[in-house]
Structure formats: structure tokens, C-alpha cells
Amino acid sequence: MVRLETVLETWNSIRADAAQAVEELPEGDLAFRPLPDLMTFGEIARHILDAGHAFTGLLLEGVENFQVPEFRQMFKRHVSPLPETANAADIAAAMRQSLEQRSAELARQSPEFFSGIVTKWDGAKLTRLEMIQFLKEHELTHRSQLFTYLRFKGVTPVTTRRRLAKQ
């Protein structure tokens, strides 16, 4: 059985590392992208912020079907109010604050809330807890992108530094 506390604790750890990656980007080069058709570092960071905040907001709002034509409009209700010109420090702070807020809101929900079934945009049926686990895994993928971009800039990601410090 997967426990909510573990999911939220590990998600907060992933988010903290992603926010730290944003802060450690040299010279705040949020427009950096290794290839023209890839998202910029800043776009990935904003995507992490907005996806986690919007999907959890919709779940808390009671949305059960994400496979509806008005999905994009629903999503926009919960995106970050940060201006597009926000700097790295502001994005990192918003990333931390957002998940801290959502974790507290989710922790107050009943076990029945998490066992309720929702329909993902691809038609898959998941419990709300499985959806939250999916969101965490989605963010983990994008955190890896941020780490790869940092390596292009000559920065060793925090997770590698922690591992090396233990050796």
C-alpha cells in the first residue's frame, strides 16, 4: 500500500531539488536550451510549477474527468500568477511555496478522497492518490531535464553532490 505521507514527502524532496537547480543555474540563464526545439530551462521550471499546482488544484476542486474539451481552461484557473519575466529566485520560491501549500491541503483530505477515481486526459482511470503519484513521477522526469541542462552549464546537480559527499 502506498501511503499519502510518503508520496508527499518524496514529492517535496524532488521539488526542493528542482527549485535548487533553478537557483544554481549560472547567471540565471533561464532562456538556455541545448537545442532549438527543446524547452528552455525557465520553461521547464515553470512547467513543473504550473503542472503540479494546477492538477492538484483541480483534484482538490473535485474534478474527476480531465478528458474534457474545457480542460485547458480549467487548468489555467490554477497556474502561477508569476509574471513571465520572473527571475530564477522568484520561480524557485514559488516552486517551494506551491508544493508546501498543496501538500498541506492534500494532507487534510480524507482517505475516501484519495480512493476516488478520476479519468486522466488519455482516458486512464486512476485513484486520486495514483494521480498524485503520477504527477510526482512527471515532475521527476522534468527535474532530470533541469539537471541535464545544469550539466551543460558545468554545474553538478545537488543529488550527485549529496551522493559524492557520502562516499
User: Which residue type is seen at 133?
Assistant: Q
144 — pLDDT class (breaks 50, 70, 90): very high
Is residue 1 over pLDDT 90?
Answer: no
Please state the rounded mean pLDDT for residues 151-155. 95
CATH number of the structural domain 4-166 = 1.20.120.450
Number of CB atoms found within 10 A of residue 17's CB: 17
10 — pLDDT class (breaks 50, 70, 90): very high
Taking each helix axis from N to C terminus, what angle separates 4-24 and 158-166, rounded to the nearest 10 degrees?
100
Contact 120, 126 (CB under 8 A): yes
Rounded to an integer, what distance in angstroms lies between the CA atom of residue 53 and that of residue 31? Answer: 22
Contact 140, 16 (CB under 8 A): no
Rounded to an integer, what distance in angstroms lies between the CA atom of residue 43 and that of residue 48? Answer: 9
* pTM, 2 dp: 0.93
Please state the rounded mean pLDDT for residues 69-88. 92
How many Cα atoms occupy the beta-carbon half-sphere of 67 within 13 Å?
9
Q: What is the pLDDT of residue 54?
A: 96
List beta partners, residue 126.
118
Our CA angle for 48, 54, 60, nearest 5°, is 130
27 — pLDDT class (breaks 50, 70, 90): confident
How many Cα atoms occupy the beta-carbon half-sphere of 108 within 13 Å?
6
Please state the rounded mean pLDDT for residues 67-74. 93
Question: All 3 cell numbers of residue 99?
Answer: 508544493
**Mean pLDDT score of the chain:** 95
List beta partners, residue 127.
117
DSSP for 4-25, please give it.
Answer: HHHHHHHHHHHHHHHHHHHHHS
pLDDT one-digit tens code per residue, 82-93: 998 999 999 999
pLDDT one-digit tens code per residue, 97-139: 999 999 999 999 999 999 999 999 999 999 999 999 999 999 9
